[in-house]
Amino acid sequence: MRIERIELRQIHLPYVAPFETSGWRETHSRSILVRLEADGAVGWAEAPVGAGPWYNEETAATAWVMLRDILAPMLLKADLQEPSDVDRAFTAVRGNRMARAGLEFAAWDLFGRIRGQSLSQMLGGTHDRVSVGVSIGIQPDIDTLLELVGAYLAAGYQRVKLKIKPGWDIEPTRAVRETWPNLKLQVDANSIYTLDHAEHLAQLDAFDLLLIEQPLGHDDILDHAKLQRTLRTPICLDESIVSPEHARWALELQACGVINIKACRVGGLAAARQIHDMAQAAGIPVWCGGMLETGLGRASNVALASLPNFALPGDISASNRYFERDIVMQPFALNPDSTLSVPTSPGSGVELDMAFLDDITVERLALSAETRR
């Protein structure tokens, strides 16, 4: 199959509240949406890039240029038999995995709609609901944090992740643990510490955490292996695992006890599934991370999380945790058991609210086989 037309859209959609980590703060989604057309069918997807290169090296601006000048023209020349052929078509491309993932996700949606199969079915999903939690950004003070955690628990979330950084780590975690002794609790440092903080981080062992996510360098594996030997709490890698090869290195070095899988971070769902399978074979549980996606990206996260080795709750909260109004006709709602239901319709299983999408689109571009550069 040949892709006949590719459309890119830059959106600008405010979050319900700014999201702050150890290294950045964002107030809006700047995702790039991708639309593929082939054989009379249409596939849509989201590349959840941010405003600046704070999580990884990509930004909304760089991903736009990569998609426009390199990746979309390459895809228009490729012959696709399977969604996983997209990854192969980009073998010569270094990095830029979120931009690549936008096209790869859209191909999964397209093939699913053509074949009448849901994304979860195509991937080999085994669950019809997936356990989810909520990721809570850095707050101005502990009282505000406790109030926010209480509100999310009242809304039905049964697992909480706290963003931490030096000066906002031991005390907020202690306060949440003392208030809710049985809560499933974990923390995420987004690469802010070094091995010099090993003794400091060991204080977190007292709080019975599910895991400590990405304490050290965004591209480090070796020091995480050293740190893991000094901690009782499992380390979970996020930023460092950008490909199945990186997962293999981390597993061989015993750098983590858990892996956070984000398909957008590793170039797409085919690579994400490979990491899932490798971790399963190694006896290492995985869970599905998030990038504050709209309902479109959320749909592929939920489908991915329906695979069997997604053993811990994902950062895949309901639509209303992120946006006042989502861009899909079927916003994700939290079930009373702290799960989201896995869509069953073909492809991503969600339809876009096109009128609303047009309102929040700030830039559009179409490429077709004839106009390719």
Instruction: Say which entry of Mg ion, ligand OSB, none residue 233 contacts (CB below 5 to 8 A, set by partner kind).
Output: none
Q: How big is the site for Mg ion, counted in residues (CB under 5 A)?
A: 3
Contact window for ligand OSB (CB under 6 A) among 179-187, 229-237, 278-286, 287-295: 287-295
Number of Cβ atoms within 10 Å of the Cβ of 329: 12
Exactly one of 112, 215, 234, 290 binds ligand OSB (CB under 6 A); that residue is 290
Q: Please check whether residue 26 is in contact with residue 135, taking contact to mean a CB–CB distance below 8 angstroms.
A: no
Retrieve residue 116's tokens. 């009448």
Q: Specify whether 262 is catalytic.
A: yes
Minimal distance, residue 77 CB to ligand OSB, in Å: 32
Q: CA–CA separation, 307 vs 32, rounded Å?
A: 26
Retrieve residue 25's tokens. 């703060």
Give the nearest residue (CB) to ligand OSB.
290
Sheet-wide strand order for 235-237? 134-136, 159-163, 184-188, 212-213, 235-237, 258-261, 286-288
Instruction: Say which entry of ligand OSB, Mg ion, none residue 319 contacts (CB below 5 to 8 A, set by partner kind).
Output: none
Instruction: State yes or no: residue 83 binds ligand OSB (CB under 6 A).
Output: no
Q: Specify whether 163 is catalytic.
A: yes
Contact window for Mg ion (CB under 5 A) among 33-41, 90-98, 99-107, 230-238: 230-238
Instruction: State yes or no: residue 304 binds ligand OSB (CB under 6 A).
Output: no
Retrieve residue 370's tokens. 């004839």
Exactly one of 291, 299, 327, 350 binds ligand OSB (CB under 6 A); that residue is 291
Q: Is the alpha carbon torsion for 272, 220, 161, 56 positive or negative?
A: negative
| Cβ nearer to Mg ion, comparing 10 with 56 | 56
| Cβ nearer to Mg ion, comparing 235 with 318 | 235
Q: CA–CA separation, 113 vs 312, rounded Å?
A: 29
Task: Determine which helix (DSSP H) or strand (DSSP E) holds 185, and give its type and residue range.
Answer: strand 184-188
Q: Please check whether residue 255 is in contact with residue 237, taking contact to mean a CB–CB distance below 8 angstroms.
A: yes
Exactly one of 238, 293, 326, 353 binds Mg ion (CB under 5 A); that residue is 238
Question: Tell me, what amino acid is at 161?
Answer: K
- The residue annotated as part of the active site, out of 77, 161, 184, 262, is 262
270-279 per-residue burial string, b: 16 or more CB within 10 A, e: under 16: bbbbbbbbbb
Question: Tell me, what amino acid is at 109?
Answer: D
Minimal distance, residue 2 CB to Mg ion, in Å: 37
Instruction: State yes or no: residue 135 binds ligand OSB (CB under 6 A).
Output: yes
Instruction: State yes or no: residue 55 binds ligand OSB (CB under 6 A).
Output: yes
Which are the catalytic amino acids?
163, 262
Contacts with ligand OSB by CB under 6 A lie at 55, 135, 188, 190, 238, 289-292, 315, 317
Residues that bind Mg ion (CB under 5 A): 188, 213, 238
